[in-house]
């Protein structure tokens, strides 16, 4: 069985939502601190926007790892289920989030250029 389905069987939806809120708020704060200077630089139209997009992609990939780490750590405050491989869950969700970030930044890059 998949770790994601095990997660939804072990925790209530309210517990999952409560674990998502602190992780999302901390990562949103980091993203805002990173994005505001970058948007100003991109609006000035520096011709090397691709390098900024690669920097954003790497930064948001690191933030996805931090998001999943905070999410799992918060879930541990409710209960620890021995049937769930939390490390594999964190890795899988980080890969999924990184792929989503890649698609988003690719769309943004092709819209700019």
**What pLDDT, on the 0 to 100 scale, is given for residue 35?**
81
- Judged against a pLDDT cut of 60, whether residue 1 lies above it is answered with no
pLDDT tens digits for 58-83? 888 898 999 999 999 998 888 888 88
pLDDT at 69: 92
pLDDT at 111 over 70: yes
Indicate the angle between helix axes 49-78 and 13-43, nearest 10 degrees.
160
Measured distance CA(52)–CA(59) in Å, rounded:
10
Task: Enter the pTM of the model.
Answer: 0.80
For 32-43, letters b (16+ CB in 10 Å) and e give eeeeeeeeeebe
Tell me how far apart the alpha carbons of residues 101 and 54 are, in angstroms, rounded to a whole number.
11
**Is residue 7's pLDDT more than 90?**
no
pLDDT at 52 over 90: no
């Amino acid at each position: 069985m998949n770790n994601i389905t095990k997660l939804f069987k072990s925790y209530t939806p309210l517990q999952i939502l409560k674990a998502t809120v602190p992780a999302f708020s901390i990562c949103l704060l980091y993203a805002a601190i990173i994005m505001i200077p970058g948007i100003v630089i991109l609006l000035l139209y520096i011709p090397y926007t691709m390098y900024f997009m690669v920097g954003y992609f790497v930064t948001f990939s690191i933030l996805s790892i931090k998001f999943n780490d905070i999410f799992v750590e918060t879930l541990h405050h409710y209960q620890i289920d021995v049937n769930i491989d939390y490390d594999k869950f964190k890795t899988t969700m980080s890969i999924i989030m990184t792929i989503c970030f890649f698609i988003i930044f690719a769309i943004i890059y092709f819209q700019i250029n």
